Amino acid sequence: MQTSAFSPHDHSRCITSAIGHAKSLCADRGVKLTPVRQRVLELVWQSHQPIGAYELLASLAKEGFNSAPPTVYRALEFLSGQGLLHKLESINAYVGCCNPDTPHQGHFLLCQDCHQAQELDSQYINLALKVSADQHGFKIQRHTIEIVGTCEECLAQSTALEPTP
């Protein structure tokens, strides 16, 4: 089962679990989760919000890692190739993937107040995309589905603040 990214939760457990998962997954696949790759994945998960490449780079630099742009972009490329994270195209930022075992591309809810992202993988949306594509004889390879708005928690807060419109 899955918690919402928007709700308060013990995020350190998310990180630990995501890293453990990534390790075994890479071992199974015979690919290397090298120190810099692992650290980038940790940093992505540590962030409560989608994080940009240059912000990651700054953190790596502070920790003594090599800190030229290719370092972080290579790590991001590897991790996204392994399905361990997703890039959010509309904000040029990266988020950890909750379900890296099965190759997929998620759908994302992006809250413009708290700037958190929630990954979905709605079969309903997938079906709607497939139907539309089929109608045009279009064969889907991949997609970018990013929904921007306000999450439940932030909505509740703003209504609490302005009870009478």
Using CB under 7 A as the criterion, which residues of the chain lie in contact with DNA when the complex forms?
A: 31-32, 34-37, 52-54, 65-66, 68-71, 73-75, 77-78, 87, 92
Q: How far is the CB of 132 from a second copy (least distance, A)?
A: 5
Q: Does 129 participate in binding a second copy (rule CB under 8 A)?
A: yes
Of 74, 83, 120, 157, the one binding a second copy by CB under 8 A: 120
| Crossing angle (nearest 10°) for helices 53-62 and 69-81 | 120
Would you give the binding string for a second copy spanning residues 85-104, x where CB under 8 A is met?
----xx--------------
140 binds, among a second copy, DNA, none (CB under 5 to 8 A by kind): a second copy
Q: Residue 40 in contact with residue 47, Cβ under 8 Å?
A: no
Nearest to 108 by CA among 92, 121, 127, 93: 121
Interatomic CA distance for residues 164 and 132, integer angstroms: 42
Cα 121–chain centre separation: 12
Nearer to a second copy, 141 or 164 (CB): 141
Q: How far is the CB of 41 from DNA (least distance, A)?
A: 12
Interatomic CA distance for residues 144 and 106, integer angstroms: 8
Interatomic CA distance for residues 81 and 22, integer angstroms: 12
Would you give the binding string for a second copy spanning residues 11-40, x where CB under 8 A is met?
------------------------------
27 binds, among DNA, a second copy, none (CB under 5 to 8 A by kind): none
H or E element that contains 15: helix 11-29
Nearer to a second copy, 49 or 67 (CB): 49
